[in-house]
Amino acid sequence: MKVTETKLKGCFMIEPKLFKDSRGYFFESFNQHRFNELIGKNIDFVQDNESFSSKGVLRGLHFQTGEYAQAKLVRVIKGMVLDVVVDLRKDSPTFSKHFSIELSEDNKKQLFVPRGFAHGFIVLSETAVFSYKCDNFYNSASEQGIRYDDPSLGIDWKLPTKEFIVSEKDLVLPTLSTLSL
């Protein structure tokens, strides 16, 4: 497993070691001991989630606050997405900066998103199955988000805006400048 810290402190790209032969492939998608050793902190995941979406579906940018903040380990099982994280840690030198990466069934890459980050993705393939581990349970009262098209973030979602499929809930999220953190 290869772990590389992104330009956002504490956010890591993870590339598993893939074993291929004529029968197909095998890889270890998660090993708690090795994962904690490689990122340099103890993360105990307590919940796994999965979503299925069509091309153009944009989910995000979401996060939970306070005692219900979540770190996530995300990956794509089928298809391809552009995964985006935004650093919302006010004391961070990369506060309000974002990082994006294509995650796909082909590249098998994963992204570790620490607590204090907003997270979202857009589906680039015809469909995608997206999976993520969380280190805290979902709590609807602590859920927040910021607009995917916040001009201060300048995120390139890689698809024309007319192809976006965004939930009503995500369309009314605040911009970063109007969000109270």
Could you give the residue numbers annotated as active site? 62, 132
DSSP string, 64-95: E-GGG---EEEEEEESEEEEEEEE--TTSTTT
| Tokens linked to 120 | 């979202």
Q: Whole-angstrom Cα distance, residue 57 to residue 59?
A: 6
Query: In this structure, which amino acid lies at residue 178?
Result: T
Q: How many Cβ atoms are within 10 Å of 27's Cβ, its own excluded?
A: 12
The residue assigned the tokens 């007319």 is 162
Q: If you ran DSSP here, which 8-state letter would residue 33 be given?
A: H
